[in-house]
Amino acid sequence: MSEIPPDQLTYVQAVEELNGIIGELDDGLVDVDALTVRFQRAIDIMEDLDGRIRRARAKVDELAPRLEAISRAATDGAPAASPATAAPEQSAPTYDYGDEPF
């Protein structure tokens, strides 16, 4: 059986497969000959998921100042300025997501 590369799985599919592999390993259901193969597959999926989450976090951090500008304008009653025409402000806040990979 050929496995789908982790980057071609949906996020939900990848998490479900990873949970299945972890369950197999925890329950001792993996044949010794297949152990390293399943363990490698779990690592590949985890690395892919970690990359997806890091990219999503970076995008959220990029978009957050735009949302803040819109919110500020809405409370002030003024139209929101586009990021290109907005006056320079302090640096955008950073968000701490902890050390969890996903």
What is the pLDDT at residue 75?
A: 87
Q: Which residue reads 């980057």 in tokens?
A: 7
- Tokens 């990359």 correspond to 51
- What's the pTM value of the predicted model, to 2 decimals? 0.66
Residue 65 near residue 92, CB atoms below 8 Å: yes
> Residue 38 and residue 28: Cα distance in Å, rounded?
12
| Chain segment 3-29, per-residue pLDDT in tens | 899 999 999 999 999 999 999 999 988
DSSP state at residue 30: S
Residue given tokens 């997501």 in the structure block: 97
For residue 82, CA distances in Å to 53, 58, 59, 67, 85 come to 27, 20, 18, 11, 5
Coil, helix or strand at residue 27: helix
**pLDDT exceeds 90 at position 100:** no
- With bands split at pLDDT 50, 70 and 90, how would you rate the model's confidence at 99? low
Residues 56-86 pLDDT 10s: 999 999 999 999 999 998 888 755 555 555 5
Q: Where are the domains of the chain?
A: 7-76
